Structure 1
């Protein structure tokens, strides 16, 4: 058993090549500890979002605070709020992030396959993000 005290793992800015806007990540667990599960607490500033991406084994999001947006390619943008749990099936193109005027924090959980937990695609355009209607 290993207890990692709160605040012992530093917050880090999310990689700019996969996100738009100010996004912070805090590791919860990684495959080196769990063999397959990766989990992060992710905090999005208003307007911040992931790029389009997929997960080889799917992803679960648990929104812990704020109000955000999520979209699967070809479908309408949807609102997600604190307490919502979202399952994204394997291989589904999607993005998620904060609302235009609100921060959003979620726990992102996904398993790795051959060391890969996400396949990153192109940025979400401002026009596509704006489809949410603010």
Structure 2
């Protein structure tokens, strides 16, 4: 009798654990779906793994021309995704439109970014940006004076660097 009760109790615990795991996975997927639905612009095309850790999607809004010499686009970073270190010859401006993430200029502390923030990345200065571990991030980017160049991609941001936010 005692053996039967233990067996039933074990089955109940395993069933509850499985239900909790399924619920958590569903919550995580729902959170990622909700992050994507906040987007103003289409998701775009996934950026190359050589320039990003995790999944980041770019949607170009304005191509450079001889009149404006400016590139504008939108990037959606899935939770935990981030760019490599990189720099722009004429700098870059980020406008955060949804979610939360991080930005760091080489040699300075990591800064948190939230919806409504505007971040200036100085010309020819190494930096990176991306989503927080548990939230997607939508950012518009503006790269001015494209006649000077667009971007120079550098090394990946390692986990120690990414997790240094305090």
- TM-score, length of structure 1 as denominator length: 0.87
Partner residue in 1 for 2:72: 39
Query: Where do 5+ consecutive residues of structure 1 fail to align?
Result: 1-5
**Alignment partner of 2:164: what SS?**
helix
Partner residue in 2 for 1:113: 147
Does residue 90 of structure 1 match 2:132? no
After TM superposition, give the deviation of residue 51 of structure 1 in Å.
0.3
After TM superposition, give the deviation of residue 59 of structure 1 in Å.
0.4
Of structures 1 and 2, the larger Rg is shown by 2
Contact 1:23 1:48 in 2 (8 A): yes
Identify, as 1 or 2, the structure richer in helix. Answer: 2
CA RMSD of aligned residues (A): 1.9
**Alignment partner of 1:83: what SS?**
coil
Query: Where do 5+ consecutive residues of structure 2 fail to align?
Result: 1-39
Identify, as 1 or 2, the structure richer in strand. Answer: 1
After TM superposition, give the deviation of residue 15 of structure 1 in Å.
2.0
- Between Structure 1 and Structure 2, how many residues are aligned? 126
Partner residue in 1 for 2:17: none
Partner residue in 2 for 1:125: 158
User: Over residues 52-86 of structure 1, what are the superposed CA-to-partner deviations in whole Å (9 max), with x where a residue is unaligned?
Assistant: 01110010000000000000111111100000001
Does residue 79 of structure 1 match 2:112? yes
After TM superposition, give the deviation of residue 33 of structure 1 in Å.
7.7
Summarize the Cα distance change of 1:10–1:79 in structure 2 as closer, same or farther, 3 Å threshold. closer
Partner residue in 1 for 2:103: 70
Aligned mates of 1:39, 1:94 — CA distance in 2: 18
